[in-house]
Structure 1
């Protein structure tokens, strides 16, 4: 997949808004593979909603979301399964990890779908992010910042054309933010993927090619 196009997309909840000032809602916006984008928004402007529309978890909008020349509203379940396994990876703001499973088990649930990464690479990422000693720790007993690092690793253990990172460093210090950004961009470049980072304030310090106000 080379492009994601949003044409006149508007969430139903904003249909009556008269002072909508957005560079995404009700606009024609193209995200291209291999490029780096920042989507900035105030709280309540639909940042996570935007991500949900792209990955197909919500469809309560007018307008069209196109993957290349395919309208995603025509997708069946099998189409979305393929997209989420092979073409789009999503780091959720709320993480959506399984608290009863260990950090390692949470990552391997994703990795075993495609067997995309070997164990040595995954362990190296854990070590680089300072959580190499947390492989066997239950997610429910880890801090939110530690969980964010696990969720990022999970997002990277699959093939993808685009990576959506929804507020990926909200609970991280500057050092871990930098390390996470380095790992993320190295993997994205290796896959020739596009990256869309969202933020309501603190965001990864990267050379964004385009910044859009939601």
Structure 2
């Protein structure tokens, strides 16, 4: 997949409100593979909704979203499953980790399905992010910042044309923010992928090709 295009998109819940200035809603917008984009927004502006629309998780919007010119409302469940297997990855703001499983098990659930990363690569991520001692700890016992690091690594354990990262570093310090930015930049370079990052004030530390106000 090479391009995601939006035409006059707006969440249905916003459609009855007075139109506000936005770089996304009610506009013609395109995201291109290989492009790293930051969407800045205030809380409640719809950034999490947009990520869910692009991932096919929600469809309560007006307007049209197309992948390479094809309206995503026409995709079957089988098409969505394939897209999420090889073309789309996401880190939800609420992370959606399995709380009863360990940090290591949460990542392996994804990687065992894709076979995309080596165990050594995953081990190295734990070390770089300062959570090597948390591998066998259940996620429910980890801080939200530690869980963010686990979810971020998990999102990279698959091939993708585009990855959507919804406030991925909101609870992280400068150093871990930098490390995650470096990991993502390396992955983007290898896969030639497109990236959409959202932020309400603490963006992921990576070079952006485009910064838009949601």
Calculate the TM-score normalised by the size of structure 2.
0.98
Equivalence for 2:33: 33
The alpha-carbon deviation at position 206 of structure 1 amounts to: 2.4
Equivalence for 1:109: 109
1:163 is the counterpart of 2:163: yes
Q: Which runs of structure 2 are paired with 1:75-154 in the superposition (5 Å)?
A: 75-154=75-154
Alignment RMSD: 0.8
Cα offsets for 1:72-121 (capped at 9, x unmatched): 00011111111111101101110000010000110011111111111111
Cα offsets for 1:151-176 (capped at 9, x unmatched): 00100000000111110110000011
The alpha-carbon deviation at position 22 of structure 1 amounts to: 0.8
Distance in 2, matches of 1:134 and 1:78, equals 36
Distance in 1, matches of 2:131 and 2:123, equals 9
Distance in 1, matches of 2:131 and 2:210, equals 32
Distance in 2, matches of 1:113 and 1:81, equals 13
Cα offsets for 1:49-76 (capped at 9, x unmatched): 0000000011011111111021100011
**Structure 1 gaps, min length 5:** none
Distance in 2, matches of 1:182 and 1:146, equals 17
Distance in 2, matches of 1:207 and 1:111, equals 27
Distance in 1, matches of 2:134 and 2:127, equals 9
Distance in 2, matches of 1:51 and 1:10, equals 13
Equivalence for 2:3: 3
Distance in 1, matches of 2:166 and 2:18, equals 27
Cα offsets for 1:2-27 (capped at 9, x unmatched): 00001111110011122321110110
Distance in 2, matches of 1:124 and 1:171, equals 21
* Runs of 4 or more above 4 Å deviation: none
Cα offsets for 1:128-162 (capped at 9, x unmatched): 11111111110000111100000001000000001
Distance in 1, matches of 2:42 and 2:210, equals 18
Distance in 1, matches of 2:104 and 2:175, equals 23
**Structure 2 gaps, min length 5:** none
Cα contact 2:182–2:206 (8 A) shared by 1: no
Cα contact 2:40–2:200 (8 A) shared by 1: yes
Calculate the TM-score normalised by the size of structure 1.
0.98
1:72 is the counterpart of 2:72: yes
Cα offsets for 1:162-204 (capped at 9, x unmatched): 1111101100000111011111111121111011110011112
